[in-house]
Amino acid sequence: MTDTNELPHVVSAEREIAADADRIFELIADPAQQPRWDGNDNLNEAAAGQRVRGTGDVFVMALTNGAVRHNRVVEFEEGRRIAWLPSEPDQEPPGHLWRWELEPVGDGVTRVTHTYDWSRLTDPKRLVRAKATTAEKLLASIENLAALAEGAEDSR
């Protein structure tokens, strides 16, 4: 339960993207693509060949600060939903979750919702960063993703 004086522990943003859900999902489910659209300025690189295929998969991401995260996929529906819990290598996840949901809403148009849920975060060292993850930062990732999926990345 969240104290009403605190920031919300679940933050999300959404927008429609003029691209098919499958095209957008490919950019999310392939960790090597994620640094291209990251609006949090947090992701540096991921090795190719880690395309997520289901719950239980773990992909490895290097962060811009030099740290490495193992991301355990806890929700997965091909082309529609993916969520993961990041953790330090070989450690239990501290309880924050990243989720992407895609909903086709018309011919070649997809509603994309990006959520950051830190309601179960147990590591106090991560609280400052968690509190700084705003809906605007999530929307920045969606905007970057839209530019890639719509094929307009060179025009921005």
Least-confidence region, from 39-43, 83-87, 135-139, 145-149: 39-43
The yes-or-no verdict on residue 1 having pLDDT over 90 is no
CA 43/CA 35 separation, integer angstroms: 5
Higher pLDDT, 102 or 155: 102
Q: Using an 8 Å Cβ cutoff, are 109 and 92 in contact? A: no
Of 2-6, 101-105, 131-135, which one has max mean pLDDT? 101-105
At 92, is the pLDDT very low, low, confident or very high (cuts 50, 70, 90)? very high
The yes-or-no verdict on residue 145 having pLDDT over 80 is yes
pLDDT (tens digit per residue) in 27-59? 999 999 999 999 988 999 999 999 999 999 999
The yes-or-no verdict on residue 152 having pLDDT over 90 is no
Q: Using an 8 Å Cβ cutoff, are 61 and 43 in contact? A: yes
Q: pLDDT averaged over the chain?
A: 92
pLDDT (tens digit per residue) in 64-89? 999 999 999 999 999 999 999 999 99
**What are the Cα distances from residue 117, in Å, to 34, 37, 114, 138, 154?**
19, 19, 10, 12, 32
Q: Using an 8 Å Cβ cutoff, are 10 and 33 in contact? A: no
